[in-house]
Amino acid sequence: MRAVLLLALIILSNLAQAAEFEVLLTDGRHTWSSSELLNHPQARDIEIADDVSYKRAMHYRAVPLSTLLEGVTPGDHLQAVALDGFAAELPAAILLASEGAKAWLAIEDPQRPWPPLAKGKPSAGPFYLVWTDPAASHIGPEQWPYQVARIRQLAPVEQRFPALLPATDAGTEVQAGFAAYQKNCMACHRLNGAGDSEFGPDLNIPHNPTEYFAGDFLRQYIRDPQSLRRWPQGRMPGFSEQVLPSAELERLIAYLRHMAQRKSSANL
């Protein structure tokens, strides 16, 4: 029995060591194992005072993400893809920045595994994009993807998914709302069938939330989803005033309301 248990532990340890982080750029594919990253020359022990996923202070062994993005320029567009289908759209400029918020790739050490995110759930590993001083660059919670499998270089959202674009004559509030949608919603949701995420429901097909939430209920739902629908399996986080200021929330709702009139017939 002890021999079987020992073998199982060895297998699990080897699997953890074999976890691989991938970066797909226009110039090719680059990969690192957990072991390589834990021993990377730029690896550091960092403290995250208010971790978005764990809701408390956390300590990580991490590598500055910019060191893994050689050849990427601030004008490029990147996407972080998680094991569960979460797909965070990230302008390269914030990942490469030397001032303000700094992006780190935290690496889970198989000898010292991180705690589970919740009871019955896995940890945030084996790789997790975390930030030091996130408030300095207005980094939102959707820009902290955990269980990251890869980062890939892509064309900007508006080029890849024209079905997301508001009308050319839409006002500045709607255009600003489109930017808020990309930052806060697109990592989990599609709209008009457009997007890479496989995590949450489409926000326009068959119905847009502005069509079925009356009064202030949509605002309340975005702020605190469980206050309207108590669902233990619900995965949508609440967006606080600090994360999504009232003015930005109104612009986001203006964009959604506008897109309710622009359903893509190809996806109906």
Of 154, 189, 209, the one marking the end of a domain is 154
Q: What percent of the chain has pLDDT over 70?
A: 90
Residues 126 and 254 in one domain: no
Q: Is residue 170 part of a domain?
A: yes
Q: Is residue 1 part of a domain?
A: no
Residues 129 and 27 in one domain: yes
Q: How confident is the model at residue 119 (pLDDT cuts 50, 70, 90)?
A: confident
Q: What is the pLDDT of residue 4?
A: 42
- In whole angstroms, give the CA distance from residue 58 to residue 163: 39
Mean pLDDT of 125-137: 95
Mean pLDDT of 36-57: 96
- Element spanning 158, H or E: helix 157-160
Q: What is the pLDDT of residue 5?
A: 43
Task: Answer yes or no: is pLDDT of 104 > 70.
Answer: yes
Q: How confident is the model at residue 18 (pLDDT cuts 50, 70, 90)?
A: low
Q: What is the CATH number of the domain that holds 262?
A: 1.10.760.10
Cα 200 to chain centroid distance, Å, stands at: 12
Task: Summarize pLDDT for 140-166 with one digit per residue, the tens.
Answer: 888 999 999 999 999 999 899 999 999
Residues 203 and 142 in one domain: no
Residues 137 and 30 in one domain: yes
Q: What is the pLDDT of residue 226?
A: 83
Q: What is the CATH number of the domain that holds 137?
A: 3.90.420.10
Of 129, 154, 179, the one marking the end of a domain is 154
Q: Is residue 251 part of a domain?
A: yes
Q: Is residue 149 part of a domain?
A: yes
Residues 148 and 164 in one domain: no
Domain range for 100 is 18-154
Distances (CA, A) of 238 to 87, 117, 247: 18, 16, 16
- In whole angstroms, give the CA distance from residue 18 to residue 12: 10
Instruction: Give the chain's domain count.
Output: 2
For 141, phi then psi, to 5°, come to -65, -25
Residues 149 and 22 in one domain: yes
Mean pLDDT of 83-101: 92
Order of strands across the sheet that contains 87-91: 28-33, 20-25, 148-154, 77-82, 87-91
Task: Answer yes or no: is pLDDT of 74 > 70.
Answer: yes
Q: Is residue 30 part of a domain?
A: yes
Q: Is residue 75 part of a domain?
A: yes
CB 206 within 8 A of CB 268: yes
- In whole angstroms, give the CA distance from residue 127 to residue 117: 13
Of 154, 169, 184, the one marking the end of a domain is 154
Residues 40 and 143 in one domain: yes
Q: What is the pLDDT of residue 27?
A: 86
Q: Is residue 195 part of a domain?
A: yes
Q: Is residue 150 part of a domain?
A: yes
Average pLDDT, the chain: 89
